[in-house]
Amino acid sequence: MVKKGRGRDNAELLALTPEEIEEVWDRIHKNRIAGELLTGEEGFYMEVTRMPPNMTRKLNCGAASAVISIDANGDVYPCHLLMEERFRAGNLRKNSFWRIYTTSPILHEIRSITVDKKPKCCKCPLKYFCGGGCMADAYYITGSLLDAPPLCRMSRKWMWRMIWGQLDISDNDIKEFESTL
């Protein structure tokens, strides 16, 4: 859940903390390893274990390039979570989609934010698998698109498991890994 709009107003009531999400994912992972069928949770599992196709480098979350959002008035935004005035790229009643997509300064700016430009992510050994996570998720917490998102630690944990098969990774392993960032 992204802490935006009504989500932000009701975050205390509705949002799981990163630690709680991690715990849920750990449970799903363990049950899956044990061979249980997790109907309904499969989608979540697929989402968290998504890797870049064909092992290509993942440079960002895809906002403003693979993803675009258009509201009912024809306003164009970099993604469905960044639908605020400062991110408005143009309007389809005034310009063609192609023109907005190729010439909008804000779309260009967001597209140019890659893991290599994010202060924390650029040092992360998993950066090209992760792509730096959801920019909007970070933005609504810290106010910056360049920060690592709140689920960064969990991302590292699941990627570590997938890539090196370390199924029993401990908190100490994670701490040691984090100290390198």
- Per rule CB under 6 A, is residue 150 in the interface with ligand SF4? no
Q: Number of residues interacting with ligand SF4: please give it, by CB under 6 A.
A: 14
DSSP letters for 12-75: HHHPPPHHHHHHHHHHHHHHHHTT---TTTHHHHHHHT---GGG----S--BTTTB-EE-TT-E
- Per rule CB under 6 A, is residue 115 in the interface with ligand SF4? yes
The least CB distance from residue 88 to ligand SF4, in Å, is: 26
- Per rule CB under 6 A, is residue 155 in the interface with ligand SF4? yes
- Per rule CB under 6 A, is residue 61 in the interface with ligand SF4? no
Q: Coil, strand, or helix at residue 90? A: strand
| Burial (0-12, 13-18, 19+ Cβ within 10 Å), 104 | buried
Say how many C-beta atoms besides its own lie within 10 A of residue 49's C-beta.
14
- Per rule CB under 6 A, is residue 88 in the interface with ligand SF4? no
- Per rule CB under 6 A, is residue 59 in the interface with ligand SF4? no
**Six token digits for residue 17:** 């903390």
- Per rule CB under 6 A, is residue 81 in the interface with ligand SF4? no
- Per rule CB under 6 A, is residue 78 in the interface with ligand SF4? no
Question: Which residues would be at the binding site for ligand SF4 (CB under 6 A)?
Answer: 115, 120-121, 124, 126-127, 130, 132-133, 148-149, 152, 155-156
